[in-house]
Each structure stands twice: as C-alpha cells, then as structure tokens.
Structure 1
Amino acid sequence: MVLVTTRFPKVAGMVKTVDPLELRGLESNDFFTFFEACIFGQDNKPEHYEYEFAGIARKIANKLKGSPLAAKTVGRLLHKHLSQEHWNGVLEKHQWLKQQENDDIMQSLKISYDYLPFDLKKRFSYCGLFPEDHEFTPSEINHFWVAIGIIDYNHHADRNYLDELVDNGFLMKKKGYYWDDRLMHELSKSVSAQECLNISDLDFRADAIPQSVRHLSINIEDRYKANFEEEMCKLRERIDIANLRTLMIFRGYEEERIAKILKDSFKEINSLRVLFIVVKSAQSFPYRFSKLIHLQYLKISSSYSEDEMSLPSTLSRFYHLKFLDLDDWYGSSDLPKDFSHLENLHDFRAASKVHSNIRNVGKMKHLLELKEFHVRKGNMGFQLRELGSLTELEGGLIIRGLEHVATKEEATAAKLELKRNLKELELLWGRDGPTTDADILVCKS
C-alpha cells in the first residue's frame, strides 16, 4: 500500500486510486487542547491561567481555523511571555504571521507559493485585497485582473485561473463562488505587501507600509478612534495617492467621522483603474470623481434611503470603463442621458429597470448583457432599431412596448441580430397583443 500526501488537489487527482481524503482543521475542542499543549509543552499551566489567559487563548485559537501548524507557531510565540499584554498583542496584531523560522506557518505555506507558475503567483497575490472569506464570482476577480492590466481582456476566457488556483490548494470553490481561507488570505497579503495594502484594523500603522503600494482596500469596524485619523494622515504622506491604481471600500460607515476621513484621505486620486465605493448621499462620492477618466472597473453600492439618490451625471465621462457594477445600487434607476458614451463598456451589472433606461443603447456595441429594453413612442433613443447594433449580446432579453414599433423595416433591422447569441428572448406588448404587422414580424423572429 502506498499512502500519498500532498498540498495540491490536482496531484491527488493524478495519483488517486480511491477518493482522496481532504484534511481540514481539527475540531474546535480537540484543537484547543492541542493548542494549549503547544503553548505549555510539558510545563504546568500557571495557577491564574483560567482567569487571566484562557479567554485570550480561545480567541486566538478561533483565528487559527484548526490548523496544527498554526497552533505550533503561535504556541511557541505565546510561551515566550506569559503576560496578558503580550498575548493580546499576538491576538490583535497577528504577530504569528510574521515569524521567520523555517518551520513557521507563513514560511511553510510560502514553499507551496514558490512552486506556483509565475502567472498564478501574480493573480493569487491580489486576492488579499478582498476581505477575508469574501466570496467572489469569476467575473468579479477576472474583471479586476483585466482592469489592473495582468490579463488581456480579449484572451481572459482562454484559461480558468481560478480553477487552477483551486487545483493548487490556494482557493476554495463551492456553487460557483471562490474564496480563500484565513491562512491563504494572510499568505496573499504577505507576498503582495510591496504593492497591495488591505486595511482591516483601526490600529494599523502607516509607518510600516511600503511606499511602493499602488493597490489599496479598506474594510474596518464602524467605530471611530483618534489614532485611525492620525494614521490615515500619515498614509497620505507616505504613499503616492495620486498614482493609486486600485481603491476598494467594501462597506458603508454609519460613523460620519470615519466616512469623512476616508473621503478627505483620497482627494488627490486621479489615476485609478479600479474603484469600489459605498455611498450614502451624493456628497459621499470622492472629491475628484469626475476626473477618474482612467477607470476600467467601477462598483458603486448604496444603502436603502427614503430620498432616492441619483447617479452622478459625470459617470458618462469614463470612456475607458469596461465593467460597471450597480448590483447593490438602491438609488434612482435613472441614468445620465449620455450614458451611451461609454462605448467600451462590456459588462454592465444592474437591475432590469436600470438597463431599460439606457438611451441610444445601440452605441454600446460591446455590451454583453441587456436585461430589458423598452420601445418608447416618440422618444428618441428608444426605438427598436437600437438593438440591431448589439451583436455581442448574450443571455436573455425582455423587450417591452412592441406596440410602439412603427414600421416593418424597423422590426426587420433588429430581428436579424437578436437571436444570434441570446438564449432567451421574451416579447411583451400592450394588453391587446400584437396590433401591427411589425409586432407580428418581431414575434416570429
């Protein structure tokens, strides 16, 4: 009998003769018993352990996700100083991730990373910008890679890099979503530290951040601390805000002070390729939003509000924009009148009602999805012939208002292209059904 162990799921698939046994973390109670043994070894626990240290130890253990290697690394670190101050420092500052001995956890995980092909290394390194346990879709991460220039859009579908990272044990996959666990998330942040920064703690230290950082994400608690404002001011001086390529803010902040600090901290941005923002009002948009003409990937989220917020009219200036995500936008469904100036837009994620408000949509020849189109009588820019130019449409499309189609020629111009890539076409007209030859002609198409 030959027993094979490997870090890489794809290797298990190559050599298996029976289904492989996937090793996960230890169960919580078993892990904590093992963790305590790693801390104290053969020594007895101090008398005051249960009162002073046990609670901190359990919080640390929860962060280690049942990993015996992590227990060994952190246990050795905690054993050095039996003080609450030291143990809380390990808990809050994740000092265990910075240990450099050969058998420590980051060094051990980095061995697997070092054996990855260069193109997979590069793609994995940016995953640390997303929050821990963030479940991203293939489109979300692929759009990000395209926008920052490490994938050519015309060839991004040639390889499934996400599945390759799953096969190599760096990501996990379930029901079409991908994510990295705690340890791999920290590895990603570690190997990309010269370029990428993820601020997930109010107590971060700007002095420790490399000046070369060009990609920044923020996901912190919703509570104000004076030192956070101080560190953000230092960060503005330390890194070149004007040349940031990525700024991703993953949540809205009820604390107005934090929201203002974030807005003030990024006054100089003008070279962004990727921007994720959460807004509460028109005043929440960055100061130089209209100047972000290099954007290729924009995601705008908002909270529910009684007063419907409108999208900025300057949105249509972003001529290089390839991907626009408004799936979490709960403001007005109206779009700027010249929205169709975004002729390079490929993927537009939004509610059907928003899609139906695109005037002159025929100019957006690269659009991959249009959920709904309304033919509107006497309304320039909403004639059926607009659809004839959308040769790259995929998925499904609902067309409403067919009773407003004026001529057979207009219907004919659209019908030739509509069924090329569409999987589903739904035609809806007035309550009396098709009333003209043009209606019937479109229906038969």
Structure 2
Amino acid sequence: MLVQTMPFYRPSCLSSDDSWSLFRQVVFPGDQEQNASTELVRIGKSIVSKCKGLPLAIKTLGSMLRYEMDEERWVNVLKSELWDLKQPQHEILPALELSYKHMPIYLRRCFQALSLFPKVDSILKNEVMKLWKVLDLLDCDGSDADDYKAERLCFMELVDRSILVHDRDESYRLHDLIHDLACFLAGETFYRFEAGTSTEIPENVQYMSILSVPDYVKYGEFPITPCSMRAIFAEGGGNLRNAEPLFLKSKKLRALDLTHIFVEAFPDSLLGSLKQLRHLSLNTCLDKQFTLPSSLFILYNLRTVDLRCNYNKVSLSGIGSLINLHTLPVFHIRRCGCGYNIRDLRNINNIRDLDIYGLDSVSCVEDANEARMQNKRNLRSLELDFSCARKICKCTPLPTPGSIPQDQVLERLRPNHNLGELKIRHYKSHVYPYWLGCASYSKLFRVELLDCEFQQIGVLGGLPSLKYLVLDSMNSMECISSDVFRRSAGYKGFPSLTELSFRKMSVWSEWYVHDGEFPCLRTLWLVVCPKLRSLQFVPFLSLSEFYLICNDNISVFPASPNLRTLEFRRCSNLRSIGFEHSLNPVQLHHSSSSTSEEVSTLPKLTTLALNQCPNLTAVVPLPSLTTLYLSNDLRGEILHRMLNDHPSLESLSISELEVAGISLEQQSLPSLRRLRIGWCDHLQYCDGLTGLTSLQHLEVMDCPKLTIHDVHSLELKTLIITNMFEDESENNED
C-alpha cells in the first residue's frame, strides 16, 4: 500500500466582488436592493468579508437575511461571537450556525431531525415530511390538512434558507457540512443506528433512526432502547428477529415506524404497555397468516396504524376500540372471524381517510346504518368497494345471509357533508343513493365511479365544488345527458368541473351537452370508448387539453378555439382535425387567400400527438404549434404535410413509421431546436436535416437503414445516434 501526504484542502473561494454579487443576488431578490439603506449595504459588505469568499457561507447567510431590512439584526450577525472560531476547518461553520440561531424554534427542531438521515446524494421531500409527522415535531390542530400544510411550509423555509437545495423532481440535496452541523446541534437527542455504531444506545436519545440492521442484531437481539425514547423511525431495510428490546424500557414511545424492517416476533404484553403510542407502522410477511398482538387494541391514543402487508391475511378484529384513529388500514369486511364487521366503525369518528372493501359481504342493512358515517366530521376521503372479499384465511366461514340490495347499503353509508373525495367501485345497482349529488356536499371536489351500473351522471352536476370526475368501466351507461336531472330552466350542471375522464365505456355511444354546462372544463380524457360516434365541443369553450385513445367510430374532430394540447392514439376512423362542418377540407387546405391565423380553428394549439391514425387526411393549419409527436401508421401525404409550414415548431418526435424517407425544410421549420427519430426500421434517408440551422438537440435511435451525412456541420449541444447504418454509428453527447 502506498501512503503519501496530501496538502490540506480548502474549498475554492470567490473574489470580493463576486462574493458581494452572490450575497446581493440572494438577499435582495428582484429590485429589493433599491429599498436598502446605505448603512445596511455597508453592514452587508462587512458580513460578506467575514465569509472569506466561501459560497456556501455567503448563500446561507444571504438566505437567512432575505427580506430582512432591520439594521440591528444585521449588526447582531456581524458582531456574533461565532466568527471567532480559530480552527481552519470551521471556516464555514460560523455562518451555518448563525443561520441556525436565527431560525424560529419550531424550525430548529425540524433542522436537527435531518441528522437522522444518512449522508447521501439526495433525500426525498416526502420522506422528510413523513419523518417530521412521525416525530410530531410541529404543533398543529391535528387535522391532516393542517399537518401537511405546516410540514410543507417548514420544508420550503429550509429551501429558502439554502439548507436544502433542489436537485430534481422531488429530490433535494443536503450539503455534507450542513448535515454535520445538524448532527452536532442534535447532540444525543437524535441518534442514527447503523452498521458500525456502538452496541449501546446513549441514555438521552429521544429520536432514533435505524439505517441498517447489523449482523450482530440480525442473529441476536437489538440493543435496549433507553426510557427517554420518544420515536423510532426505520429508514433502512433488514430483518429483526426479536423486537422486545425496542419496548422493554421505552414506555414513553409515541411513534414506531418499522415500515422498512420485517420483525419476526412482537412481544404482546410489552407492546400493550406503550400507552402514549400515537403512530404505528409495521411490515408483515406477505406469505403467512399474521395476527396482530391483541394488546394493540388497547392503545387508545393511537392515531395512525399503517400496515405493509397482504390485508387478506391479517386479522384486525377488535380495531373498533381505537376511537382516536386518524388513518386506518384498508377495512376488509369478510364473512369470517378475522375480518371487520362494518359496525366496528361506529365510534371511530376522528378518521380522515377510509377505504371499505367487501361491502357485498355486509350481513344486514342495519350493520351499515350502525357505521354512523354521518358522525365522522373529519372524514375527507372515502372509498366504497362492493366486491366480495376473497376467502384466503383458515377461519370457519360465518353463515351466509340472504342477498342484501346494494342500493340500500349505499344509502345508509351516507357520509358527513365535509367529505372531499369519494370513490365507488363494483356497485351493481342502477339506483343512485338519494344523497349523492346533493348541493350540501359543498366540499366534495373529486368523484370516481368504477364498474358501477349507474346509467347517468347528471345527478352529479349539482355538486358545486366538483373539480375532478372519473367514470371507468361503466358498462350500463349508453347515453349521457343531464336532461332528466335538470332542476330548473336556468340550471347549469358541473359549474366547477375542470377535469373529466371516461375510461373503458364499452356501450356508451351518445353524449348530449347543453349550453352553459361544464363552463370550467379544462381537460377531457376519452379512453377506450369504442362506440362513441361524435364529439360536441361547441359548449366547451374553456377546454385546453383533449385525449382520444382507442376509438374506431369518431371521424371528425371539431373546432375548439382554446385547445392547447391534443392527442389521438389508435383512432382508426379519424379523418380530419379542426374543420367546421360547413368547410370543405380540400378547399381549406389549398386556400391561399387567407393567412393560417385567419383560417385555423385551432389557433392556440401548441402540442399535437398522432399515433396510429391510418385514415387521417386533413388537419387545419396550426399557427401556434411548438411540439409535435408522430408515430405508427400515418399516411405519407399527411406525414409530409405535418412536417412543413410550422414556423413556430420547436420540438419534433418521429417514431415507428413505415416510411423509406422524410424531408425537412429549413424554411418550413425555422424554429426547430429538438429532433428525435426512433425505431423506424425502413427509414433510409432524412433530406434537409443538415440545413436545419436552429437545431440544437438531435437523437436518432434504432434506425438501422438510415444514413446521415455531414451531421457534424450542425452546431449541436446534444447528439445521440445509436444502431444506425454501420458506417455512421456514433454516440456523442456534448
């Protein structure tokens, strides 16, 4: 082994001017600097000089002082004793600790909790917020909505302070030095248990994360947790043979989350001694019959029970005694001893989200009435599934009652008026419950109906706040019209609906819409509605997104002046897009007396996707089109037409087309910046490609017969070419 001495590493530093520029950019967003006094600017420059050109220190302090115009506070930062640390390795830490000391108290606890995560490239926003919720670090009124709002605001405040830096999607980065500070400030209050740590847990630990289960624990016992423990949170995976040491002394435990760890044995009596437990998450074996410890059902302070398991193999009988529950595992009703009886819901009135499966197994109508759904004022989301739960357990089946009409069960499960989301599945009756559609459900914003035998939807038009409606596999619904439900001459149905989705509607053929209905509709999905013959878009003046997938009857897509996104997939009979019935498509296409803006009936369309539309022959001019996707079974003439005369087109994707060649012209595509060609087995040439002077990104994949010459003459930022003609194969990315 070769060992050599390396010089002490110091992070790269900014010049004085660059340091002030970075600080000013962070602390004075927009034109806020003009509101700052000369003295404040002088103090700011002095603070920046103490950061010694270190970008992390400058950005963190700048984020802390953002929007803060109090000179006294800036002076306090400038004269803080923390700047006097002498060790060179602590050059950044004074600025970071200053940022911490100026946090509100509630945010300090949330920051310290970040020490429970390992040093990794990124952490997920939802994982951080879940941790705060499990640890009960934020004081809220107890509602899930307020909890989520508080957690999200705290998270964004840490982002604003540059403690967390957005990486991609829902991932954020936590700088190693900031993580070190969180660990230092957390002291023994927060503790990470992982491979390589001590076999003993410090006595003052209150919050512990389990990042991994070391071998000595897998084959032995977990170290005994101290009596000060309040919460245990499993972040890593593994198996734990005996969980008894987790509970032996931890009588004040409030949260136990073992979602990522499989525990082979639960000590029944010890679990029952955790009287203050509020949150319990367990991971049970999917392949075995599993019985929860009976002592679980005397933990009256429990708010959350979360099980990662096969619910058909877990007995939850007795859960009705947990009257303070906010969340509950899926409520399976079975005609055996291990399932729920719907009467168990009688006193669980603080529940927020509830999924009830197996409603076809309800023994009598009175049982549904005893659930007392109207007493659950905090219930926000409700799913009612009328399928019959499968019999997998070994329990002796209970006597099968006579058939209970499902409409009588649904009528008695009327929820409280505070409900926000409702889903009904496998309901085998065409009778709507009296309560569904009542205007008194003023907070109901989402409804999903799946495999139900309702024959109309007009009754839902009276819900004043309904924004999202999904109809899936409604195989008794042939014609949709609100005529039979119109309450008065001035009645306008679905006043707030913004997104409407029809899926797998096997017999639906007619849809009648009246003027004034759906005034706010933005997005419409028609997926596998094979018998629908025509579309009525005149009333949908607000529609901006439309998706038609798997339809063999619709031949004409009418005008829609505000449409911005349009997708057709597997529409074998579609012939024209955007033409008024009074216009001749051939004459319109060849017209030279009108500009495209004057002729087009889709003037705002920016995104168009065509896939497997073999009979499409006419598309109106699209003056605003910026993104175009073409794939699978399109006629040569429509393909040529779509590739020309789009001055605003910026992105073009061509895939799985059975053509030998395509032509692209610079004068027709002056704005094209991104081109993607893929999986065209017969494509041999692409004329005009090297003449596209605006092109910046080119991707060609799996076109084995295609050759491209002089591609390097293009000034590309990204070039990816794979599986082309052998002489031209390359794979580059700048």
Asked whether the equivalents of residues 129 and 155 of structure 2 are also in contact (C-alpha less than 8 Å), the reply is: no
Q: State the SS of the aligned residue for 1:283.
A: coil
- From 160, 166, 170, give the equivalent of 1:167: 160
How far apart, CA to CA, are the structure 1 residues paired with 2:352 and 2:155? 22
User: Structure 1 424/132 Cα, relative in aligned 2: closer, same or farther at 3 Å?
Assistant: farther
1:268 deviates by 2.2
- From 116, 123, 135, give the equivalent of 1:129: 116
How far apart, CA to CA, are the structure 2 residues paired with 1:130 and 1:358? 41
Instruction: Please list the CA deviations of residues 294-329 of structure 1 after superposition, one character each: whole Å capped at 9, or x if unmatched.
Output: 11111112354x323233232222211122222x33
How far apart, CA to CA, are the structure 2 residues paired with 1:128 and 1:264? 23
Within the alignment, does 1:404 sit opposite 2:404 as a pair?
A: yes
Q: State the SS of the aligned residue for 2:90.
A: coil
User: Structure 1 198/332 Cα, relative in aligned 2: closer, same or farther at 3 Å?
Assistant: farther
How far apart, CA to CA, are the structure 2 residues paired with 1:186 and 1:8? 26
In structure 1, give the amino acid aligned to 2:276.
Answer: H
In structure 1, give the amino acid aligned to 2:189.
Answer: E
CA RMSD of aligned residues (A): 4.5
- From 179, 195, 206, give the equivalent of 1:201: 195
1:30-429 aligned at under 5 Å gives the runs: 101=88, 103-133=90-120, 134-137=123-126, 140-146=130-136, 150-153=139-142, 156=147, 159=150, 160-172=153-165, 175=169, 180-204=174-198, 206=200, 209=202, 211-220=203-212, 222-224=214-216, 236=224, 241-254=226-239, 259-260=241-242, 263-264=244-245, 266-277=247-258, 280=262, 282-284=264-266, 288-304=270-286, 306-326=287-307, 328-330=308-310, 332-348=312-328, 350=329, 357=340, 359=342, 360-375=344-359, 376-378=361-363, 383=368, 386=371, 387-400=373-386, 404-405=404-405, 412-415=411-414, 417=415, 420-429=418-427
How far apart, CA to CA, are the structure 2 residues paired with 1:334 and 1:273? 24
Q: Which one has the bigger helix percentage? A: 1
Aligned to 1:80: none
Q: State the SS of the aligned residue for 2:232.
A: strand
User: Structure 1 398/366 Cα, relative in aligned 2: closer, same or farther at 3 Å?
Assistant: same
Within the alignment, does 1:4 sit opposite 2:2 as a pair?
A: no
How far apart, CA to CA, are the structure 1 residues paired with 2:88 and 2:100? 17
How far apart, CA to CA, are the structure 2 residues paired with 1:7 and 1:330? 55
How far apart, CA to CA, are the structure 2 residues paired with 1:150 and 1:439? 39
In structure 2, give the amino acid aligned to 1:288.
Answer: L
User: Structure 1 152/6 Cα, relative in aligned 2: closer, same or farther at 3 Å?
Assistant: farther
User: Structure 1 4/303 Cα, relative in aligned 2: closer, same or farther at 3 Å?
Assistant: farther
Aligned to 2:77: none
User: Structure 1 252/201 Cα, relative in aligned 2: closer, same or farther at 3 Å?
Assistant: closer
Asked whether the equivalents of residues 257 and 280 of structure 2 are also in contact (C-alpha less than 8 Å), the reply is: yes
1:217 deviates by 2.1
Asked whether the equivalents of residues 204 and 228 of structure 2 are also in contact (C-alpha less than 8 Å), the reply is: no
User: Structure 1 439/352 Cα, relative in aligned 2: closer, same or farther at 3 Å?
Assistant: same
Asked whether the equivalents of residues 311 and 332 of structure 1 are also in contact (C-alpha less than 8 Å), the reply is: no
For structure 2, which runs of at least 5 residues remain unmatched after alignment? 1-16, 34-53, 58-85, 389-402, 437-453, 461-734
1:242 deviates by 2.5
Q: Which one has the bigger strand percentage? A: 2
Q: State the SS of the aligned residue for 2:257.
A: strand
In structure 2, give the amino acid aligned to 1:144.
Answer: V
Instruction: Please list the CA deviations of residues 190-249 of structure 1 after superposition, one character each: whole Å capped at 9, or x if unmatched.
Output: 211131111223243759x4x4322222223543399x989x76xx5xxx7223111223
In structure 1, give the amino acid aligned to 2:154.
Answer: Y
Instruction: Please list the CA deviations of residues 152-184 of structure 1 after superposition, one character each: whole Å capped at 9, or x if unmatched.
Output: 535645642111112112234554566745443
1:432-443 aligned at under 5 Å gives the runs: 433-434=429-430
How far apart, CA to CA, are the structure 1 residues paired with 2:387 and 2:93? 60
User: Structure 1 113/439 Cα, relative in aligned 2: closer, same or farther at 3 Å?
Assistant: closer
For structure 1, which runs of at least 5 residues remain unmatched after alignment? 18-66, 71-98
Asked whether the equivalents of residues 213 and 237 of structure 2 are also in contact (C-alpha less than 8 Å), the reply is: no
1:275 deviates by 0.8
User: Structure 1 102/251 Cα, relative in aligned 2: closer, same or farther at 3 Å?
Assistant: closer
Asked whether the equivalents of residues 383 and 405 of structure 1 are also in contact (C-alpha less than 8 Å), the reply is: no
In structure 2, give the amino acid aligned to 1:317.
Answer: I
Q: State the SS of the aligned residue for 2:215.
A: coil
Asked whether the equivalents of residues 365 and 391 of structure 1 are also in contact (C-alpha less than 8 Å), the reply is: yes
Instruction: Please list the CA deviations of residues 52-88 of structure 1 after superposition, one character each: whole Å capped at 9, or x if unmatched.
Output: xxxxxxxxxxxxxxx9989xxxxxxxxxxxxxxxxxx
How far apart, CA to CA, are the structure 2 residues paired with 1:380 and 1:191? 58
Q: State the SS of the aligned residue for 1:144.
A: helix
1:369 deviates by 0.8
Asked whether the equivalents of residues 297 and 321 of structure 2 are also in contact (C-alpha less than 8 Å), the reply is: yes
User: Structure 1 193/398 Cα, relative in aligned 2: closer, same or farther at 3 Å?
Assistant: same
How far apart, CA to CA, are the structure 2 residues paired with 1:171 and 1:283? 38
Q: State the SS of the aligned residue for 2:265.
A: helix
In structure 1, give the amino acid aligned to 2:205.
Answer: V
How far apart, CA to CA, are the structure 2 residues paired with 1:331 and 1:412? 27
Max radius of gyration: which structure?
Answer: 2
In structure 1, give the amino acid aligned to 2:235.
Answer: F
1:272 deviates by 0.2
Paired residues in the alignment total 345
Q: What is the TM-score with the length of structure 2 in the denominator?
A: 0.40
Asked whether the equivalents of residues 333 and 340 of structure 2 are also in contact (C-alpha less than 8 Å), the reply is: yes
User: Structure 1 389/150 Cα, relative in aligned 2: closer, same or farther at 3 Å?
Assistant: closer
In structure 2, give the amino acid aligned to 1:185.
Answer: H
How far apart, CA to CA, are the structure 1 residues paired with 2:199 and 2:24? 34
1:358 deviates by 6.7
Instruction: Calculate percent identity across the aligned residue pairs.
Output: 16
Asked whether the equivalents of residues 135 and 177 of structure 1 are also in contact (C-alpha less than 8 Å), the reply is: yes
